[in-house]
Chain A
Amino acid sequence: MVVTPRYIHQLDKHLRLDRIPTLYCPGCGLGIGLGAMLRALDKRISEGAVDRNKVVWVGGIGCSARMAFYVSYDSAHVLHGRAIPFATGVKLANPELTLIVVGGDGDIAGIGGNHLLHAAKRNIDMITVMFTNFVYAMTGGQVAPTTPLGVKTTTTPHGNPEPPLNIIKVVASLNANYVARASVTTPHYIEQFFYRALGMKGFRFIEVVSTCPEVYGRRIGLGDPVEMYNELKKRVKYKPNPTIDEALIDWEKGIIIGEFMVRDNPSYLEIIRGLK
């Protein structure tokens, strides 16, 4: 049966409706994150600050990266870990374009970690939104760069021997203009931070803490989506101007969200224009 897309929801015009429903599991946090991002983008477009025909979404491989092909924009679903260098080429070849990179922590900070470092170091003009769900979800629940110490996953059945990567600290230590963290339990902050990032230049990085009840929650005794969401919500605390030292995600002590770094360093494009 062929379903003709009809716009019902106010965000429908931003989606490839013939690809909905998504493949996301019931209880997945990614839909909340994408919804919040689209509300911010919708606002920027309606204000005339962003041209919808000049927006490019780029995703690597993974659940989060798939957002790139659910949206009704110019988009690219490329290789695992390589969304950032792909987007770098796009932006430099056509600086008019607004680049949005989406991906999970395995995609962006694991296999793509070196590219993340160098994009932040260059302060290249793009926004990267990294969804942290503490696990490699699409492949079935293997250990991720953000998996807490000791957690049992399919590839660490005796417990994860590695402490998690503090990605906010890493990116903030470089030359990125914007470093923020929100959570799918605070969609208004995702929207607010993404809206702000859309109005800035240089490298902008937003980490979104998300829920994966299916292959992570079950491992830590939170297989029920509502329970997992509520447990995350309890631990998330918004702080105005948090320090970098507060960025470590600690399930016991709480998860600080907020804008960790806001600055106006010259972006890569500004610098090369000056050198010519």
Chain B
Amino acid sequence: MRKTFASGNMAIAEAAIVAGLKFYAGYPITPSSEIMEYLAEHLPGQGGIVIQMEDEIASINAIIGASWAGAKAMTATSGPGLSLMAEGIGLAVMSETPIVIVDVMRAGPSTGVPTKTTQADVFQVRWLTHGDYIIPSYIPWSVQEAYDLTIKAFNTAEKLRTPVILLSDAVIAHLWEPLVIYERGEVEIIERRKPTSKDNYKPYMPGDDLIPPMACFGEGYNVLVESLTHDERGYYAPTNTYHKNSVLRLMLKIVKNISYVYEQETYMVDDAEVLLVSYGSTARTVYAAIRELRRRGVKAGMLRPKTLWPLDEERIYNSVSSRIDRVIVVENNMGKLFLDMKRIFRDREVYSAPVLSLELPTVKEVIEAVEQWL
């Protein structure tokens, strides 16, 4: 364990190394580029490879290939690049490939404002590719949490054989804060479960936990990576039975592990009458805002999901007391998580308080956005 001073992008790169990253493929894009630059400097010394591919499509497909060759693999990008990765992320879902994708949010739509932040891509990571699926997504609010949740992202990917997204933003990316870096052995690192026998091995035959043990290329298993809807062997199976079974299992394997995947923090909720829900960089300001509101006599608390998708709806609902009768969702977009909170807190008044700001919103801006609902 050592203490240092680092940016969010550096923290993500350091965490990936301790998690066991061995292959990074990426394409430069603001505000994520420092992750690749840092890894290009440091990963080769750890026995890993960093390659700058011709585009984000190549990057996502290269890390999927690397994962099947047995390496922990990652890429990092921002909204425009993530849009290009959409199809590849679907391949990782379908082929149950553990990979980590870092999305450092900037302002959109389109090229937008590359150097500034928003939180407008929270639904992009949720519904990026076509079909039915759940992709676990983590959203840090500090440099230390960017580090911790990157390790968690790798662990989730390996444990559940799934792509995982770390949803950072331009504020966290370039924010410098104290950071505690761990050595291997000081933090839990999960490795994918391997098959125990070559006899009759089927690459998509799940265990009781719904997750198939994963053999990799070169190990003598005749592995088959398949993008088509497939049976346990990986053979194309265009029937209702296989389609239903496969879609259900791919979603259930995440849902059944929700207590592992989902994390949240609550602040000053015990006596609160108003709950502010916020996440990522915006939650930093909302945390300051609830203290300011309390000074003004408003009993405010905060709920901050660290896992954005999937939400543990039961846990969220049960984590606030019956005293809270109104919920205000503060986010740096036009109101996205609000839609889920409205459903989860169906017996409370739920309001959306969008703060559209290219910078970290100020306490004044947050209070202006929420006070009409107080």
The reply to whether the CB of A88 lies closer than 8 angstroms to some CB of chain B is yes
B54 and A79 contacting across the interface, CB-CB below 8 Å: no
B74 nearest CB across to chain A (Å): 11
What 1/0 flags go to A59-94 for Cβ under 8 Å of B? 001000000010011111111001001111111111
A82 and B57 contacting across the interface, CB-CB below 8 Å: yes
B218 and A94 contacting across the interface, CB-CB below 8 Å: yes
- Compute how far the CA of A16 lies from the CA of B235 in the bound complex, rounded to whole angstroms: 10
Question: DSSP class of B's interface residues: helix, strand, loop or mixed?
Answer: mixed
B224 and A75 contacting across the interface, CB-CB below 8 Å: yes
Which of A90-148 touch B at CB < 8 Å? 90-94, 96-97, 114-115, 117-118
A97 and B217 contacting across the interface, CB-CB below 8 Å: yes
Interface bin, chain A: 35 or more
A-B contact count (CB 8 A): 126
Interface bin, chain B: 35 or more
B58 and A93 contacting across the interface, CB-CB below 8 Å: no
The reply to whether the CB of A54 lies closer than 8 angstroms to some CB of chain B is yes
B218 and A74 contacting across the interface, CB-CB below 8 Å: yes
Which of B37-73 touch A at CB < 8 Å? 44, 49, 51, 53-55, 57-59, 61-71, 73
The reply to whether the CB of A253 lies closer than 8 angstroms to some CB of chain B is no
Most buried by A among B63, B69, B216, B227: B69
B89 nearest CB across to chain A (Å): 11
B54 nearest CB across to chain A (Å): 4
- Compute how far the CA of A11 lies from the CA of B69 in the bound complex, rounded to whole angstroms: 26
**Across the two chains, which residue of chain A brings its CB closest to B45?**
A276
A228 nearest CB across to chain B (Å): 28
A276: chain B residues at CB < 8 Å are: 44
B66 and A92 contacting across the interface, CB-CB below 8 Å: yes
The reply to whether the CB of A41 lies closer than 8 angstroms to some CB of chain B is no
A78 and B225 contacting across the interface, CB-CB below 8 Å: yes
The reply to whether the CB of A56 lies closer than 8 angstroms to some CB of chain B is yes
B222 and A86 contacting across the interface, CB-CB below 8 Å: no
B262 nearest CB across to chain A (Å): 30
A58: chain B residues at CB < 8 Å are: 65
Residues of B whose CB lies within 8 Å of any CB of A are 22-23, 25, 44, 49, 51, 53-55, 57-59, 61-71, 73, 87-88, 91, 95, 216-228, 234-235
